[in-house]
Structure 1
């Protein structure tokens, strides 16, 4: 018999993970704030805004009642934008009365505090209720997972048994899950790759080709590694799925909302109008600010991150910023 699992968040990724879990034989409930979305999932078995043309199994249900969503779950899977994570965790904690394993599948750093998501979850969910804390991350577009394209991903936790539990509930013949004990590196890689994806979109929007993209992704990985190691990550983690793997998928595909946002900016569109017109949160925008300020604090050289920061927050001219990157003083790799 499968586990009782609640997925908190009914966007494209939350809905997709709920479907994976349901197909794996678990009892799954999706929680959403949106009454209309709940009715659509329960009545039409669709989520057209996020997963057009896909039909969910009729037995997969949604609710807007958070108390009901939390009541009997063995696992709670948080899949909402980072900016709402702390508030939801506080609400969940007030409803818990027993131990649960907490998983999050979001990618970002908290605004202002710049804390990793697992850190803020551990701050808001009482240790007496927290059986295990795991992040699920890696190169994965919801649009492809829902179509059962082959996907590999990482379940990371400082608690190996918790990571193995999450691995066991998610893994199947098209969704392969590896474990990793370096939760710092996995979360930093997941968050910071969105900055580089913005940059990759900008490069494409400006009309540059594969040479420029390869250079950006490679030097972007170097930046992510430098900051990640400073924050306590294992440098080898960035050579894995949540490092170079996530960079490849996010920086090369129009499925990525960060890439799409960067592409429009590269074409000369106003940054604010691009972000407001996406219809979904572009995590790379707030993460750019977090990474830029962390780099300033720790004295870490992150020229690509700084360039994206200047474009997004100071409205710097995109072409001028790219030219400045290329005209930096020559140095050893």
Structure 2
């Protein structure tokens, strides 16, 4: 049986905080890299993350905090990366510790800009981490609900089934059910796309389209996702599984969804810039839309929803006209 060894969290946002809460409950010790020393000092003093999910209380004696990513990467066997995808490369720029012998778990539901690679592919190509040492966390999982201990189902994907199971055992608990998968790249692409589709759902909501239409939008979105995944990474997968369809639904419908909130503001007439300023938290789908559009320009899958969101966010198309055209392509 594989053992995950000692585990460290890389990142200081809400999803990082939720995952840290789940892991430390099981292991009683984690390393935690946060960029800012002032945040670490506040966290130690208050017993909770000062900036995100402040109701989640920690025993800080169980946490080895550091703003030195090299020390954390050197001292821990399993590194769980939970930074927003646009910032991943900046964190890694500081890293001189090799990663090829580490177990890397990515909980980043985004794509690495410029490279246009999902995170596991980025670690494989750029950091030479073998696929058997790479895993991802997927499934419908708003961090706010995990901290409230609401029942959540997570999928842990890794090419090495034993390692996937070992990490799944670390995060499983009374309110977290887990299963494993081998489809790491498919799950990561699905997680990028569902953020794009949640922006579309938000835009439609902001334009006063109702629930009837939202259901049609998300039905078409899952078909579009399936076409893309089949083209880019053919594998044995059921697109109606919770890690694909479930994650799409929660991101498209939930009030906790940042991407939906961002889209709703765009639908109501905010500019991209003003919506981003007002949000304060990052809507990964904004970056994901551009990356996916660029990837699809190479493989030419029919993706009308992606195209519509891209046109609205990047080509300054009128949302009303763009969605009207989209409705005519739906069945």
Q: Distance in 1 between matches of 2:322 and 2:62?
A: 48
Q: Please, which moves more after superposition, 100-109 or 160-169?
A: 160-169
Q: Per-residue deviation at 1:96?
A: 4.1
SS of the equivalent of 2:60 reads coil
Q: Please, which moves more after superposition, 229-238 or 108-117?
A: 229-238
8 Å CA contact 2:206–2:265 kept in 1: the answer is: yes
Relative distance call for 1:320 and 1:123 in structure 2 (3 A) is same
Q: Per-residue deviation at 1:163?
A: 1.1
Gaps of 5+ in 2: none
Flag as ranges the 4+ runs of structure 1 deviating above 6 A.
none
Gaps of 5+ in 1: none
8 Å CA contact 2:132–2:158 kept in 1: the answer is: no
SS of the equivalent of 1:243 reads helix
Q: Distance in 1 between matches of 2:112 and 2:75?
A: 29
1:226-265 matched pairs, under 5 angstroms: 226-234=227-235, 236-265=237-266
Relative distance call for 1:51 and 1:303 in structure 2 (3 A) is same
Q: Per-residue deviation at 1:235?
A: 6.2
Relative distance call for 1:300 and 1:97 in structure 2 (3 A) is closer
SS of the equivalent of 2:186 reads helix
Q: Does 1:111 align with 2:117?
A: no
SS of the equivalent of 1:95 reads coil
User: Which residue matches 1:78?
Assistant: 81
Q: Per-residue deviation at 1:114?
A: 1.4
> Root-mean-square deviation (CA), in Å?
2.1
User: Which residue matches 1:45?
Assistant: 47
Q: Per-residue deviation at 1:25?
A: 2.5
Number of residue equivalences = 328
Relative distance call for 1:230 and 1:107 in structure 2 (3 A) is same
Q: Please, which moves more after superposition, 164-173 or 248-257?
A: 164-173
Q: Please, which moves more after superposition, 79-88 or 162-171?
A: 79-88
What TM-score do the two structures reach when normalised by structure 1? 0.92
Q: Distance in 1 between matches of 2:230 and 2:60?
A: 46
Q: Distance in 1 between matches of 2:284 and 2:267?
A: 18
Q: Per-residue deviation at 1:127?
A: 4.3
What TM-score do the two structures reach when normalised by structure 2? 0.93
Q: Per-residue deviation at 1:97?
A: 8.2
SS of the equivalent of 1:24 reads helix
Q: Please, which moves more after superposition, 146-155 or 46-55?
A: 46-55
Q: Per-residue deviation at 1:41?
A: 1.3
8 Å CA contact 2:123–2:129 kept in 1: the answer is: no
